[in-house]
Structure 1
């Protein structure tokens, strides 16, 4: 802790002379001791390491084993197809991961390239990497702070710290302050300047207290480096599914071996059959299909102004039920704006300011001429508060340079943090006017008159009471209040100390960083959808609550907590209390991480939005980190899962809606693939159990799983979304993929597909007698019935005719292409030999297409009864 020491104590502890600075020799020793003033990070993964990390999946292990066994048994084509699937899946994952994890690089880029320090008694400009603890650093407006400094001198110094603390206005600094409390929040440490923050006003001198990873921004970097990414709900479910399918495959192989011994079949033939069943149990294309569907979802998200950096984030969005939102720049516009003004007995919106009213015009002249900011069409420079005052004039088509054309500033008393006032003396034709603005409590001490509609009257205690009430009313609405006063002079020849005496009170202006216009509706939509919005900010408690109340986030002040109070709670205590809190004020980066962890401890899926450096650790800790694309720092973008290109809070709601629909589509694809694979298992297992010939070869099953099934599965992945999806509460991440009757639906359709395949096989054997002809008919029915079954998957209850057969053109295309490919495999001699199939007759094709259509017919009948049952329950 450096802020709780006096400047003398810091100079003594760091063994530095404030006038001479360090010697070059001493600086070199300290550089060797402390290291360069830059951020470190973990070594980056090579592209090959990233690729092989994609293969650490139980389903991939099973596929590799199947490929090796197939090759060993002479089934080279099967082995090649499996390996191609593994390679495609690895490439998709590698491309996504290679584009992510840029947070540490962005943090390094924030380092200031140059710093002005005292060395050997002279001022020198050196690379910021060479700054060491004990260096004396000079700060002035427009210069970045190279390291964490304990200020030893300051003159009207203001530093922009919003990226670090979340405060929307620059922080005033005072080197003379010393604290005796170790629990002072970062934003209140007025005697400190932190690395990578920008001086916007005044000047200062500081002694370097911390460099590199020991700075506040370095601590954030370490938190980013140490945090580990967690699996998303879908990833966890697919991992569990992979293990189950692996166990099922091994169990089937063992069972087939036992049956073959009992039936005294050829062991080699039965081993090939066992591999067929194992292949049937595993949906080989599932990992690749899920990755591709997510990638397609990413492209759809871009159209909604949301860039997804990590594929699994798409499905996680659909389960989000907590949005922890940074206030500044996310819920608000990150732009100070004057919203109200007050002249005696009249508090009004700024839009009601009438320039024909003399008091109103005088107030406007005051705030624009007692002002050091500049504003024109091309640029605006200066303190954000003063820029906001100039923008009031712009609102009424008055520019500062127009007012200055009729007056000349001849004297001034600059603002300082002790007086909390600023004054200018402006010369008009034959007289002079002093304009003063500042904190209302300071202003009332130097005013003894008031301008009431052009009449100058004594400033009585009753009038002061009314002025303070107006000021408090604006403060209660989270407005920052500035007072205005003036006096007229015949001559400019007065002592500087008399300029701010015997002033005439004009009025007050109230300003705020206003909420984004669309945010309130977005928060209401979230509430309707079962999603809670939580505000996290570096602003003070009263300001935070006022904004939260206006937006509909919080209703009671008890739902607000400050960073100081958070420090008094352990993580377990915060976890217990978290459900009753909606607004977190004056918080540090560590607080934000603890808040996210507390919400996650309750089983919530948490999204964290932010734009500053201070948001990066919590963005990474959250299930979904959302960074602002326009105002966001590179650090926040690098740590996020999603970036909003329009910085619009409502885009998050659109993204969640899209995420819900994408997850539903992925679930359709998974249920479809598993029901098809179950049909394959039933067809093979029943045939073996009844001591029939094998109806399908391993290559037939691989073809169906990787080609025929893949096209409709992908088409289901881009199914048009349900417009009413936001009427439902968020999905429970612990809920099984097979919840809501999906398991029964899967099993019944699996049985149906398996039975239809066996019917075609036995019919072929009975009519033609040859195993190859019968196997071909079973092969085609298995493939085509699955293609037709994909249309059943579009909605669990609605008829395909009500949804519209052609409303998903990709699915129609998948059906046509699938049947065409099946025809090619059977009719092209080279492929027919490879697949060991027979060229079917027109009658055969009519039979297999007709029997395959039964999947749609029976499902449509079942849906009629389901709708009837649902209607009765509603009645």
Structure 2
């Protein structure tokens, strides 16, 4: 630990020299020992790797087995169709993942920062990757820190560390401190500066103590490499479903084969029939449909300013019930802003400042003139605190350029971390004003008078108490407080440095904070209504974090806030037990963030983590879904995230959650529709063979229905218009089955479709073969006609059933029969294709079907309406029960 060693010890350990730096020979030696100052990263996935990753799925494995079995029994066309489905699924997934990576690459900055180092006694500028441990590094304002550095000299040095620690304001650094305590957080290591942070003020010299993967940021990169990705809730459900369907297909095939053998049927015929049943049990189009529906959701999200890096992330958002959010830049604007001021013995909001009042105007002029930053529409440079002061001047048309022209600076005493003050001397007509700003405690000790209601008065004890009371009130609200004072002098050249900051006249105070984003409060309220808990995780101090959390209604009491130091004293079990009562985690490290996310996940929560800094990256990856900011987010954070927000807007997350919930509901509709249809096929084949009948359907018929007739309505259900009230409901439990609340619908409609298919088969056999025909021994010509009717009824009843699936309790007439134009189009297309298959002779021969008569089509139409009529009646009872529950 370099922070608890003296500078002499550090230089000795690294064999370095402050005056001359490293020699060329030492640099080469250190390069070979420590390597280049850059991260070792994993090779990006190739297109081929992305393609094969899409095939690593239980449903795909089952489809491959089905394709092989189909080929074995001579159903080559079935095998080819299944393989095409698998191919389409893999290509769609691969294209989406590649697109997301390309979009993410476009957000990355390509510039490589430079570093100033002393080598061979000469200061040289080199690429940061060439810095080695032992290098003497020169730090000045505006320069990024190239590696981890132990400071040797510092002068008013301030470092912006928000990307690493989450701290919203620059941190004062002091090379003269030697920290003895070993349990000091990164944010409190005042004698160290870290790679990728930014010097905003002052200057410094230090010795490089860690480079590349050994830096604090490098350690975070290592954490990202070792943290394995987990399956999303939908992936888990579909894998589970695949296993069930696979076992069901095998069990049904074996049972049917045994039944057929016991009935003395031909072994080869029974083997082919058993394979048909296996095919019937598996919804071949399901993987492709889920992939396409998710891909459509991704396109919707892009329009809503979100880049989805992996398809399942869309659905995962829909099941989120805890959002862990970084504070700085995510919940807040990442921009210090003056919100309060104290003048004329009155504490007020900055919006109420009266620029025509001489005292209040002088307060703003003081803050603008006694300032080394710049702030315009085009650029902002300098310390964020000073930029915030200039922004207030801009708001009241007291720009730095104009104010400096009117009152030019003729002298100054720069800010000093010991004095905590800065003073400038500016011309005011025939005299000069000493303008001083800084910490209120130090400033008040230098004031003897007060500028109050346009009069200079003595600064009495009572007035001092009033000023301090206002200061404490602002501090209690986590505002950073700065005081302003002045005095008039006739001849500024006669002033000695010791005289400048004496006998000052107090003007007023300002309080500033990194304020919440305007839209965030409403978004958090929507989350509460939706059963989603928002938790703030930040590197800021406890009071600052609580003030923001309280304003956003995340936390109501200080007992809901815990610091990183307190976390260190808790075991994993203790944290898990108390995690439900905590809302704010302050002053935390990257390791803490991962620990917090894992503790929340241990309570069976689906966790989203949002952030923009390097320090957020490990927790972004550890969460069920990581959401990074696209504008302010670091490349490391974007690389670790599942989703990147291109507008850095917390409210976009709420839109994404809404979209995700609707997508899950639509996927659920598609899955239940497909499986209920497949159940109908199984029921019709199973009962027919059990009763000793001839097979009512061939394997080709089943495959056609599964891949064509069912697929288009299933896709249309996947893009069904979203439920307007979806955000008034709580998130689903991640442990709940995919079929929760829908099992009755699935089983009932499966049996209904199966029975109707058998009725059509019997009807065709009896009408065209006579009432005394034996169903176990039907002549080939009559069998083809009966199978054609069964095939057509199976197809048409499933198409009609798709309308029932739009809502389990609402009537299709109340939600609008034609409100999903894609579904209506798919039903029409399905009927048209079925008609063509039966009507066009070459295709009819391929499918083994017969051209139906007008009476046959009337029968098909009437029987196809049965599922709609029965389901509409059932929905009346469901609505009645729902009303009783609400009442």
For normalisation by structure 1, the TM-score amounts to 0.98
Match of 2:213 in 1: 213
Structure 1 residue 633: Cα displacement: 2.1
Structure 1 residue 510: Cα displacement: 0.6
Match of 2:786 in 1: 774
- My pick for the range that moved more, 750-759 or 114-123, is 114-123
Match of 1:274 in 2: 274
Distance in 2 (alpha carbons) for counterparts of 1:546 and 1:201: 27
Q: Deviations over 1:447-476 (max 9, x none)?
A: 122112232222222222211111010011
Distance 1:104 1:586, change over 3 A: farther
Structure 1 residue 618: Cα displacement: 0.8
Distance in 2 (alpha carbons) for counterparts of 1:104 and 1:92: 19
Distance 1:101 1:594, change over 3 A: farther
Distance 1:356 1:44, change over 3 A: closer
Match of 2:627 in 1: 626
Structure 1 residue 113: Cα displacement: 3.7
Write out aligned runs for 1:185-584 (5 A).
Answer: 185-492=185-492, 493-584=494-585
Match of 1:178 in 2: 178
Distance in 1 (alpha carbons) for counterparts of 2:353 and 2:42: 57
- My pick for the range that moved more, 53-62 or 599-608, is 53-62
Residue 150 (str. 1) matches residue 150 (str. 2): yes
Q: Is the 8 A contact 2:96 2:295 kept in 1?
A: no
Distance in 2 (alpha carbons) for counterparts of 1:118 and 1:391: 38
Structure 1 residue 300: Cα displacement: 2.0
Match of 1:675 in 2: 676
For normalisation by structure 2, the TM-score amounts to 0.96
Distance 1:45 1:307, change over 3 A: closer
Q: Deviations over 1:310-354 (max 9, x none)?
A: 211111112111111111111111111111111242101112211
Distance in 2 (alpha carbons) for counterparts of 1:575 and 1:116: 47
- My pick for the range that moved more, 404-413 or 205-214, is 404-413
Structure 1 residue 108: Cα displacement: 10
Structure 1 residue 50: Cα displacement: 2.4
Structure 1 residue 100: Cα displacement: 5.3
Q: Is the 8 A contact 1:232 1:623 kept in 2?
A: yes
Give structure 1 stretches of 5+ with no counterpart. Answer: none
Write out aligned runs for 1:130-145 (5 A).
Answer: 130-145=130-145
Q: Is the 8 A contact 2:114 2:127 kept in 1?
A: yes
- My pick for the range that moved more, 479-488 or 646-655, is 646-655
Distance 1:168 1:130, change over 3 A: same
Q: Secondary structure at the match of 1:504?
A: strand
Write out aligned runs for 1:63-74 (5 A).
Answer: 63-74=63-74
Distance in 1 (alpha carbons) for counterparts of 2:184 and 2:111: 26
Distance in 2 (alpha carbons) for counterparts of 1:361 and 1:592: 45
Q: Secondary structure at the match of 1:3?
A: helix
Q: Is the 8 A contact 1:157 1:202 kept in 2?
A: yes
Out of 848, 866, 870, the position equivalent to 1:836 is 848
Q: Is the 8 A contact 2:103 2:307 kept in 1?
A: no
Q: Is the 8 A contact 2:424 2:436 kept in 1?
A: yes
Structure 1 residue 665: Cα displacement: 0.7
Distance 1:484 1:107, change over 3 A: same
Give structure 2 stretches of 5+ with no counterpart. Answer: 770-781
Distance in 2 (alpha carbons) for counterparts of 1:598 and 1:701: 48
Match of 2:723 in 1: 722
Q: Deviations over 1:79-129 (max 9, x none)?
A: 100100111111122223334579998999788442221111111222222
Structure 1 residue 635: Cα displacement: 2.3
- My pick for the range that moved more, 802-811 or 402-411, is 402-411
Distance in 2 (alpha carbons) for counterparts of 1:62 and 1:331: 45
Structure 1 residue 873: Cα displacement: 4.0
- My pick for the range that moved more, 137-146 or 633-642, is 633-642
Q: Is the 8 A contact 1:668 1:717 kept in 2?
A: yes
Distance in 2 (alpha carbons) for counterparts of 1:377 and 1:794: 51
Distance in 1 (alpha carbons) for counterparts of 2:833 and 2:857: 14
Q: Secondary structure at the match of 1:672?
A: helix
Distance in 2 (alpha carbons) for counterparts of 1:827 and 1:145: 76
- My pick for the range that moved more, 263-272 or 452-461, is 452-461
Distance in 2 (alpha carbons) for counterparts of 1:135 and 1:375: 35
- My pick for the range that moved more, 817-826 or 646-655, is 646-655
Match of 1:705 in 2: 706
Distance 1:819 1:854, change over 3 A: same
Distance in 2 (alpha carbons) for counterparts of 1:849 and 1:324: 54
Q: Is the 8 A contact 2:229 2:621 kept in 1?
A: yes
Q: Is the 8 A contact 1:104 1:221 kept in 2?
A: no
Structure 1 residue 796: Cα displacement: 0.7
Aligned-residue CA RMSD (Å): 1.7
Structure 1 residue 45: Cα displacement: 3.1
Out of 779, 785, 788, the position equivalent to 2:797 is 785
Q: Secondary structure at the match of 1:42?
A: coil
Q: Deviations over 1:428-453 (max 9, x none)?
A: 33211100000001111211221122
Q: Deviations over 1:119-170 (max 9, x none)?
A: 1111122222221111111111222111100011111222221111112222
Distance in 2 (alpha carbons) for counterparts of 1:135 and 1:522: 48
